[in-house]
Structure 1
């Protein structure tokens, strides 16, 4: 079983649960995708123990982080990321984000820019992608589905069935922690809040996108589409490539993997983190 231990850190008037490992000279801060937390980085962390101090955390209301009473927005999540970096990361660092976490990381990177040695985005969906064209209708449909599933996750058999995409790719001990912390009624309730927050943020992202990161940026794109997303996958990859190509120091790279690249190709993710750590100090 995973033996990681962590601590609560107070940011912006509420607590976030943080786990730290590794003993190297650099620092890496990890931002999880939607519906997951710090445990989603378990496959990568053992590959970097002597390269950096590795910092994962649970966003507001996920995992072991208590749910705050403040209204949830994507800007608030970015504020928490900035405050957490100020609280636990000395000096410059590499920021790694998966999926929806890429939106949070990009918004936070506007303020963190002087401290970023590099930014690694793992299969994000840029705000320009057609997948967001009907985001309000999609959000309502997803919310209805999750509202039905939320109370049913009290039953472990249903929770295992509903989380099969995660169970198939993450180690057994990591999945056990996810099942206990994320695929429970409180976890799905927070996922619903986050999805609504993302839906509300997309129009603003499209009208006034975050400033392009000035640090070295690598975008890893999953070559295998998510279930049900086969038709839109080429367009998603085109928008990912287009966004990376606009950056002053950006790189787009396809990976033989599904959406959870950090679980299916952890060695490659670790290699890209090393590249960013080895860049200009």
Structure 2
């Protein structure tokens, strides 16, 4: 499936893989900064951004192939992959399925498979898709640390914006999250890898990131004080970790 995408900048390739229920623009607020030194390819999954909703259930390998094809069709033959949340599984599978393309990985707030804790979160998330007000409260509770949550101004507007910002393909993304398992890929990764753990994360707790770092040969682990939505809570520290690694 052809994915809508944005391509910006020049230099070494950097392919972005966003999270479930998100988009490239929503999950990576610093595309302009990254594009100062890289050619950034920012695709949106089916049902996110301007990409139409899929007509069939999402499959990880097919999604990976479509994401990689977006970069190649843009004229970028090789690239590092910056994955966030579900996008970490896309990045990991891309590194083993297209090793001739992938030059490095940055895996943020990620996981290799959904454990029981994550499955329970997915159950609630999916159950609330038809109740956007309750869904917004669930997402805010699980995507921000307590201090950041308490600092948010104009609470009613935050709730409305969160509810209105849920992509049409979120249910499909959640269904995919239930099935992905990239544990067997981890020891096969041979490119430089940075794992970024979000230490206040209650949606995808940081033990998942530590497991990734321990299983990927030579991977480096960085910890950032943030809930799951690091793009909103601590984007500066996240961007610094990414840039230090890529440079």
For 1:223, the equivalent position in structure 2 comes to 199
For 1:256, the equivalent position in structure 2 comes to 225
1:91 CA displacement: 3.2
1:48 CA displacement: 2.9
CA distance in 2, matches of 1:51, 1:138: 37
- For structure 1, list consecutive stretches of 5 or more residues without a partner in the other structure: 1-13
2:43–2:67 Cα contact (<8 Å) kept:
no
CA distance in 2, matches of 1:182, 1:108: 31
**Quick one: structure 1 residues 138 and 163, their matched pair in 2 at CA, closer, same or farther if it must change by over 3 Å?**
closer
1:69 CA displacement: 1.7
CA distance in 2, matches of 1:116, 1:259: 25
**Quick one: structure 1 residues 273 and 26, their matched pair in 2 at CA, closer, same or farther if it must change by over 3 Å?**
farther
For 1:132, the equivalent position in structure 2 comes to 115
Task: Give 2:6's match in structure 1, choosing from 2, 5, 19.
Answer: 19
Q: Higher Cα Rg: structure 1 or 2? A: 1
Task: Give 1:143's match in structure 2, choosing from 126, 137, 142.
Answer: 126
CA distance in 2, matches of 1:142, 1:84: 29
Cα RMSD of the aligned pairs, angstroms, is 3.4
- For structure 2, list consecutive stretches of 5 or more residues without a partner in the other structure: none
CA distance in 2, matches of 1:275, 1:42: 17
TM-score, reference length from structure 2 = 0.78
CA distance in 2, matches of 1:103, 1:113: 15
1:114 aligns with 2:100: yes
Q: How many residues align?
A: 237
2:186–2:215 Cα contact (<8 Å) kept:
no
